[in-house]
Amino acid sequence: MRDSLGTAVSLVYLARLREAFGAASERIEAPPHVNTVGALRAWLAARGGAWATELAPGRAVRVAVNHDLAGADTPISPGDEIAIFPPVTGG
Residues that bind another protein in the complex, under the rule CB under 8 A = 12, 14-16, 37-38, 41, 60-64, 67-72, 74, 83, 85-91
CA–CA separation, 88 vs 91, rounded Å?
A: 9
User: Which residues sit opposite 27 in a β-bridge?
Assistant: 10
Q: Which is nearer to another protein, 5 or 52 (CB)?
A: 52
Q: Least distance from C-beta 65 to another protein, angstroms?
A: 9
Q: Which is nearer to another protein, 5 or 88 (CB)?
A: 88
Q: Which is nearer to another protein, 28 or 62 (CB)?
A: 62
